[in-house]
Chain A
């Protein structure tokens, strides 16, 4: 019919299409299109273009935009075409406009009027065309202009119009829910439309509505269930069938809605069990579309209130998906497993090998999906393997979008389940090393915190061991080129705190390394700041220990360079460093006590230790201190001076603002990370200092001659600016940790509690599989190990339940419940292949070859079900549907055994679908029943020859020859 392409089309148009079709490269195509743009620009301004010609120009404009070039010069002509009286031209105009313009384009205003007119047209096709445009072009502001008409059209006598009107309303709801909030009842009403097409379309807006607000649609559960039941029972017209399945797309949408409605609602869920169970039983599992419906059933089952029988069916479906050769089904299987695993964690056990296969598959999509699954099933017993794998994978990919995603997963899992701190630190090192730029800075702070805090072990040696191993690993890594900034910050901080702590490395060695870092990353101020501060800590530590500090020449250069830095922060750090070096050992130890980074600093804001000093000053005639709130302003110049270059007063009054400007260069901390790192050691008021009563409030030489009142104030300021904001987070956790210091000070919340079971489980898993290895020879030991480490954690519990499951399924047929028998059909193929459970071989005598299927047993199960299907209430067409089903099963089992791997090819072979279908037809016809859709495809293929001849004739006439450059253009898509 349609292949008489070219009738009414000009030679010019055909030539254009032909040349585009034969373009060999993007560049060639671009050249053609650019030429076309020039031609059209010329043509469109010619007067008196015939309408047909104009339509062709519009299509050529569509081509130009589709191929990535701007065609805005012709938009107006498309807009004009929507005014045309001819339906075909009008619809083409609307189509072009919807493709060219977004809803906020200026030209839309010219179309709204036309749309309004067309919505009132007597010709329902014109109304439909206008409604299509409404869905694409109407924005929030123009909704009121068409809303009344659209609502009126909901009652139109033509179902096509009602359907499109409901979708227009859906669009309004998407754009602006409030504009149609009073019309929601219309969606409910249309659900009961006589026409299945309108009903099916109405499910789209209802799905959105239910998603938004589940509770107000609970009353519809009954309706949805009954609709789904009727659809599944094949009550809809045959035209909705797709590959013999009754309206699968409607079924899928209904299952989605039910999944939402039944989530967490036992009562609603109970109403659904029956129909979902029916679909599980009836659905043809040999076709793609059947599997799509089954997959949706699994999603539904995993979302509603759990029902053991349905869960069992879902598990069967998953098992079949995972054992399939089709990657698509495996993908769905992994996804479904991830959904179901929340409800019945034990089902992962039997699929461990399948999961590992997917994990090692070269197909990236499958791999990612599997990581998603692993993420969901991570426990403290398998976290090491999983995170290791994730990191390996993360290193191997380039896509930053996904890298970020997987990094955050790794960090999340590591923080949540880390079995040991050692492991955590090593893992984080790897993450930082390879994707430091993608990690949230908080993660780095957590890591530093962890190294400082330790893990609450009572054992001090382990504690120091951890730190020194961290230092070791950092010294090893530090030379690597191009480390991420965040990672370097961590490294500098750790080296500064603990570099010389265990005496293994000399101060000059560490400081040398730090200088190297500062030099190598000279554009990164944050890293330099960390490095300088680390230097200061190391020198302070040396001085406090009574050793003489010999500053390496390169350090000296660095300090000098930084003290002239443009960055005030770096400058200040450099000066502070120089000042600290000039102090005596006692003072240094007080202001920078070693290993005090995680000590909680308590601030006594009243500064009682200064009372003596203040009294003496007052006796000498000094002005008493007036609290901030009582002062009217800051006329005192001495106050300002005393602020020095260091701290800004706490900024809690408006009055402060005026005085802040001149001191701006002294605002030292621009980036929070810097302040965190530096806060610990720069705060000059660590508690011990004052407890010992030393007069060390003057940590910084520049502030040494400030008056008492000012000192008080300034210290307050220090706390506010540096101490508080930076410390608040860590001090909060510090105090929490400190309160239960001896038992549990671990940063990962329940680290301590999970560690113990992890160890015992670990032991269990390591030797159990080895005990079984002799029997499971065919599986590579590597995979076994992986399986054991991934799934082993819950082995004990698993064995019990899988045993129980086995008994249950075995007992069922003997129980003789007629209603349950068909379920066996689903269960049969799954049950036969023994679950490749590495830990379970003792009980299961069958070999672990996995996909080995016993064809006879399977057939038995099938016969059962077919018999039952025809003997019980089922209609004829249902059993007919079973026919090909059974054949497919037969073919399946036969091929798997004999040739292996040829089954389902008819569905999976995308390239040549029809040949696949016809082979299925021969199968079916030998079984007696020829599926109807096969016939229709055959029918439509009937005029083949004629069509082909026609096409050939046209092609010759137009000079487009199949034998020319691109013969692909002529290849039938379906054959």
Chain B
């Protein structure tokens, strides 16, 4: 299955985007997000960007005030996921131009659309930025 969820959480532990690739109830999500964020926020920059939590492995990366957290299966290539996060940020950067936390908040649906292009069924399916962005640009043109 690979990726189980993708979260964007800020330094205060507030969720900015959440996409799950397996069904969890609202309470489960809430609990999981709380636990994971607490774990990741407690770590420093020298420590490695991977944390084990229950049956997940969390790969996280921090950009300014925003943490990107990806929950993966145990047999996933952690470093590749770490770079996937960066690819996601680069893609958003290309679309929004100097992307910041507020961009994601104002355009939550677009951030989701990008993720929809990049990840399906928990697998990374598209990594070409132009392929990821073109449907969104087309959509913007028509609407």
Question: Would you call A128 an interface residue if the criterion is a C-beta within 8 Å of the partner chain's C-beta atoms?
Answer: yes
Chain B residues with CB under 8 Å of A970's CB are: 100-102
Contact yes or no, B89 A974, CB < 8 A: yes
CA distance A363 to B61 in the complex (A): 16
* Contact across chains for A125 and B138 when beta carbons are under 8 A apart: yes
Chain B neighbourhood of A296, CB < 8 A = 77, 80
Beta-carbon contact of B95 and A88 below 8 Å: no
Check A66 against B17 for contact (C-beta < 8 Å).
Answer: yes
- Contact indicator A66/B109 (Cβ below 8 Å): no
A6 contacts chain B at the CB level, 8 A cutoff: yes
Q: Report yes or no: B100 in contact with A174, Cβ–Cβ below 8 A.
A: no
* Cβ distance A60 to chain B, nearest Cβ, rounded Å: 10
Known: A88-B139, A401-B54. A164 touches B120 (CB 8 A): yes
Q: Across the interface, name the chain B residue whose C-beta is closest to A201.
A: B125
**Cα A910 to Cα B12 with chains together (Å):** 18
In the bound complex, do residue B102 and residue A63 qualify as a contact, i.e. CB atoms below 8 Å apart? no
Q: A170 to B48, Cβ gap below 8 A?
A: no
One of A70, A160, A299, A940 near B135 (C-beta < 8 A) = A160
Across the interface, which residues of B come within 8 angstroms of A911, CB to CB? 45, 62-64
Interface 1/0 per residue, B109-131 and A, CB below 8 Å: 11011001000110111111111
Q: Give the complex CA separation of A256 and B80 in angstroms.
A: 12
What is the CA–CA distance of A59 and B57 in the complex, to the nearest angstrom? 30
Q: Is A331 in contact with B50, judged by CB distance below 8 angstroms?
A: yes
* CB–CB A2/B102 < 8 A: no
User: Contact check: which of A204, A237, A937 meets B121 at CB < 8 Å?
Assistant: A204
Q: Is the CB of B47 within 8 A of A363?
A: yes
| A708 in contact (CB, < 8 A) | no
Which among B33, B87, B124 has the highest number of chain A CB atoms within 10 Å?
B124
Is A248's CB under 8 angstroms from B83's CB? Answer: yes
> B41: CB under 8 A from chain A?
no
B-contacting residues, A567-612, CB 8 Å: none
For chain B, residues 23 to 79, give those with C-beta under 8 angstroms from any C-beta of chain A: 23, 26, 29-30, 33, 43, 45-52, 54, 61-66, 77-79
The answer to whether A910 touches B125 (Cβ under 8 A) is: no
Contact at B79–A174, with CB atoms within 8 Å? no
Residue in chain A with minimal CB distance to B93: A974
* Complex Cα gap A329–B46 (Å): 12
A596 CB, min distance to chain B CBs, angstroms: 46
Contact of A947 among B43, B51, B84, B98 (CB under 8 A): B98
Flag whether A972 is at the interface (Cβ < 8 A): yes
- Which A306-324 residues sit within 8 Å CB-CB of chain B? none
Determine if A341 is an interface residue (Cβ-Cβ < 8 Å).
no
Which of B79, B102, B105, B120 interacts with A328 by CB under 8 Å? Answer: B79
Assess whether B97 is in contact with A292, with CB atoms less than 8 Å apart: no
The answer to whether B80 and A87 touch across the interface, beta carbons within 8 angstroms, is no
Given A135-B120, A911-B64, A204 and B125 touching (CB < 8 A)? Answer: yes
Whether A239 contacts B129 in the complex (CB less than 8 A), given A92-B109, A95-B112, A288-B82, comes out as: yes
> Once the chains bind, are B121 and A87 in contact (CB under 8 Å)?
no
**Chain B residues, CB < 8 A from A529:** none
Q: Is the CB of A6 within 8 A of B106?
A: yes
Evaluate contact between A944 and B128: CB separation under 8 angstroms. Answer: no
Q: How many A-B residue pairs have CB under 8 A?
A: 249
**B contact residues around A940 at 8 Å (CB):** 93-94, 97
Q: Which residues of A contact B130 (CB under 8 A)?
A: 239
Q: Decide if B113 touches A91 in the complex (CB within 8 Å).
A: yes
A62 near B48 with CB under 8 A, answer no
Q: If the complex has contacts A2-B110, A135-B120, are A327 and B46 also in contact, measured as CB distance less than 8 A?
A: yes
Please name all residues of chain A whose beta carbon is closer than 8 Å to the beta carbon of B66 when the two chains form the complex.
973
Q: For residue B55, which residue of chain A has the nearest CB? A: A401
Within 8 A of B (CB), among A235-261: 237, 239-240, 242-243, 247-250, 252, 256
In the assembled complex, how far is the CB of residue B92 from the closest CB belonging to chain A, in whole angstroms?
8
Residues of B within 8 A of A293 (CB): 80
Instruction: Evaluate whether A125 and B116 lie within 8 angstroms (CB atoms) in the complex, with A68-B29, A937-B90, A947-B98 already known.
Output: no
Point out the residues of chain B lying under 8 angstroms from A250, CB to CB: 127
Query: A167-B125, A970-B102 are known contacts. Are A65 and B26 too (CB-CB below 8 A)?
Result: yes
| Nearest-neighbor residue (CB-CB) of B21 within chain A | A136
Known contacts A1-B97, A910-B63, A973-B63; A59/B109 CB under 8 A: yes
Q: Say whether A62 contacts B108, CB under 8 Å.
A: yes
Contact, CB under 8 Å: B103 / A5: yes
CA distance A1 to B107 in the complex (A): 12
B79 engages A160 (CB within 8 Å): no
Closest chain-A Cβ to B1's Cβ sits at a distance in Å of: 8
Q: Using an 8 Å CB-CB cutoff, how does the interface string of B1-30 with A read, 1 for contact, 0 for none?
A: 110000000111111011100010010011
Q: Does A522 contact B (CB under 8 A)?
A: no
- The distance from the CB of B36 to the nearest CB of chain A, in whole angstroms, is 13
CA separation between A320 and B35, bound complex, in Å?
Answer: 34
Chain B residues positioned under 8 Å from A164 (CB to CB): 120
- Cα distance, A249 to B129, chains bound together (Å): 13
- Separation of A164 and B33 alpha carbons in the complex (Å): 29
A402 partner residues in chain B, CB cutoff 8 A: 52
- The distance in angstroms between the C-alpha atoms of A911 and B46, with both chains bound, is 12
The A925-975 residues at the B interface (CB cut-off 8 A) are: 937, 940-941, 943-944, 947-948, 951, 960, 968-975
**Selected contact of A201 from candidates B13, B90, B126, CB within 8 Å:** B126
Q: Is residue A3 within 8 Å, beta carbon to beta carbon, of the partner chain?
A: yes
Interface residues of A in 192-233 (CB under 8 A from B): 197, 200-201, 204
Contact of B77 among A14, A197, A292 (CB under 8 A): A292
In the complex, the chain B residue whose C-beta lies closest to that of A330 is B48
Q: Is A563 an interface residue (CB 8 A)?
A: no
Residue of A20, A87, A365, A940 with most partner-chain B CB within 10 A: A365
Contacts of B124 in A (CB 8 A): 249
Provide the residues of chain A in CB contact with B100, threshold 8 Å: 969-973
A295 at the interface (CB under 8 A from B): yes
Q: Verify A24–B125 contact, CB threshold 8 A.
A: no
- Chain B residue nearest to A948 (CB atoms) is B98
Identify which of residues 609-656 in chain A touch chain B, using a CB-to-CB cut-off of 8 Å: none
Residues of A close to B94: CB separation below 8 A: 940
Contact between B127 and A971, CB atoms less than 8 A apart: no
Which single member of B93, B99, B102, B123 contacts A21 (CB below 8 Å)? B102
- Which A1-48 residues have C-beta < 8 A from chain B? 1-3, 5-6, 9, 14, 17, 20-21, 23-26, 29
Scan residues 807-845 of chain A and give those whose CB is less than 8 A from a CB of chain B: none
Q: Which residues of A contact B19 (CB under 8 A)?
A: 99
State the CA gap A68–B90 with chains docked (Å): 28
Residue of A nearest to B60 (CB): A910
CB-based contact B139/A125 at 8 Å: yes
| Nearest-Cβ distance from residue A207 to partner chain B, whole angstroms | 8
A88 and B77 within 8 A (CB): no
CB distance A91 to B79 under 8 Å?
no
Partner of B98, one of A86, A243, A256, A941: A941
Assess the A249–B62 pair: CB atoms within 8 A: no
Q: Which of B33, B92, B94, B127 has the most CB of A within 10 A?
A: B127
Please give me the residue from chain B that is nearest to A946 by CB atom. B97
Q: What's the minimum C-beta distance from A644 to chain B, rounded to whole angstroms?
A: 52
Q: Are A968 and B142 in touch, CB under 8 angstroms? A: no
Please tell me if A289 contacts chain B, counting CB pairs below 8 Å: yes
B129: which A residues are within 8 A, CB to CB? Answer: 239
A704 at the B interface (CB under 8 A)? no
Instruction: Indicate if the CB atoms of A332 and B78 lie closer than 8 Å.
Output: yes
B interface residues, Cβ below 8 angstroms from A:
1-2, 10-15, 17-19, 23, 26, 29-30, 33, 43, 45-52, 54, 61-66, 77-80, 82-84, 86-87, 89-90, 92-103, 105-110, 112-113, 116, 120-121, 123-131, 135, 138-140, 142-143
24 sample A-B contacts, Cβ–Cβ < 8 Å, listed by A number: A2-B107, A2-B110, A5-B106, A26-B14, A68-B15, A87-B143, A88-B140, A91-B113, A91-B139, A125-B139, A160-B131, A201-B126, A242-B83, A249-B84, A256-B77, A288-B79, A293-B80, A296-B77, A332-B78, A362-B47, A401-B54, A910-B61, A940-B93, A973-B63
Since A2-B103, A29-B14, A70-B26 are in contact, a sample of 15 more A-B pairs with Cβ atoms closer than 8 Å, ordered by chain A residue number, is A20-B14, A20-B105, A67-B14, A87-B139, A88-B142, A132-B120, A252-B80, A288-B82, A327-B48, A328-B79, A363-B47, A910-B61, A910-B63, A968-B65, A969-B100
